[in-house]
Chains A and B, each alone.
Chain A
Amino acid sequence: ETGVTQTPRHLVMGMTNKKSLKCEQHLGHNAMYWYKQSAKKPLELMFVYNFKEQTENNSVPSRFSPECPNSSHLFLHLHTLQPEDSALYLCASSERGAGNEQFFGPGTRLTVL
């Protein structure tokens, strides 16, 4: 596969469940990102990783826990979520350097019941 892939594409979970979102990039990039996209709201940057090290955590609740085992893989572990966490979760990757664009995966549509 090429580009940025995300699994699963759709996820429905209860508030007491634990699940994980997976992102993989095949572009050789060294920075990876998690975004939350809710209807009628700007894209919300959640986490940034550079060379597997977390460099940004934009006041994200602890029920979201990221993991970056290597520069190609990024996970978002979910537990005890709330209905308002229902959204499209997008993963992206890029090369370091301000002139480099981000490449996005197709997203995981999460519904919390």
Chain B
Amino acid sequence: AQSVTQLDSQVPVFEEAPVELRCNYSSSVSVYLFWYVQYPNQGLQLLLKYLSGSTLVKGINGFEAEFNKSQTSFHLRKPSVHISDTAEYFCAVRTSNTGNQFYFGTGTSLTVIP
């Protein structure tokens, strides 16, 4: 079975500082990787995804993530955060042999401090 680990459950960071949210996965087959954001009282919204090609993926709201196959990681980064980035962030994996099933991490709560 696949698994997704988000090592940090809570990440506080000051406004305009950089941030990295970590995600590791376990899979022996080809993976497709996703980062979602959830604002309070809302559903999940896609930030970015990695399917193939360049390992550095750029998403919405200035976020980017880097796929590292050897370390089975897909960390999310932003060089300068805003108050509006305060939200829950979820990493997800889908593999070529699991059909439509996504595997989600437990989420990281990002709090941007003014």
Partner-B contacts on A (CB < 8 A) = 4, 6, 31, 33, 40-43, 45, 48, 50, 55-56, 90, 92, 94, 96, 98-99, 101-107, 109
Which segment, of B13-21, B68-76, B79-87, B101-109, faces chain A? B101-109
CB <8 Å contact, B43 and A107: yes
Contact of B100 among A40, A48, A90 (CB under 8 A): A48
CB <8 Å contact, B43 and A50: no
Q: Is B114's CB within 8 Å of the partner chain A? A: no
**Which residue on A lies nearest to B99, using beta carbons?**
A55
**Which residue on A lies nearest to B105, using beta carbons?**
A42
**Which residue on A lies nearest to B96, using beta carbons?**
A98
Interface size class of B (residues with CB under 8 A): 20 to 34
Residues in A with CB closer than 8 Å to B95 are 98
* Count of A-B residue pairs with CB < 8 Å: 55
Please report which residues of chain B, range 22-55, place their CB below 8 angstroms from some CB of chain A when the two chains form the complex: 32, 34, 36, 41-46, 49, 51
Partner-A contacts on B (CB < 8 A) = 32, 34, 36, 41-46, 49, 51, 90, 94-96, 98-102, 104-107
CB <8 Å contact, B49 and A101: yes
Q: When chains A and B are docked, how far (Å) is the Cα of A103 from the Cα of B49?
A: 13
Residues in B with CB closer than 8 Å to A99 are 32, 49, 51, 94
CB <8 Å contact, A45 and B101: yes
Residues in A with CB closer than 8 Å to B43 are 4, 6, 90, 92, 104-107
Residues in A with CB closer than 8 Å to B94 are 98-99
Instruction: Give, as a whole number of angstroms, the nearest-CB distance from B67 to chain A.
Output: 13
> Most A CB atoms within 10 A — which of B90, B94, B106?
B94
Q: When chains A and B are docked, how far (Å) is the Cα of A105 from the Cα of B44?
A: 8
Contact of B101 among A4, A6, A56, A105 (CB under 8 A): A56
CB <8 Å contact, B102 and A102: yes
Q: What are 13 pairs between A and B in contact, CB < 8 Å?
A: A4-B43, A40-B106, A42-B104, A42-B106, A55-B99, A96-B100, A98-B98, A99-B49, A101-B46, A104-B36, A104-B43, A104-B45, A106-B41
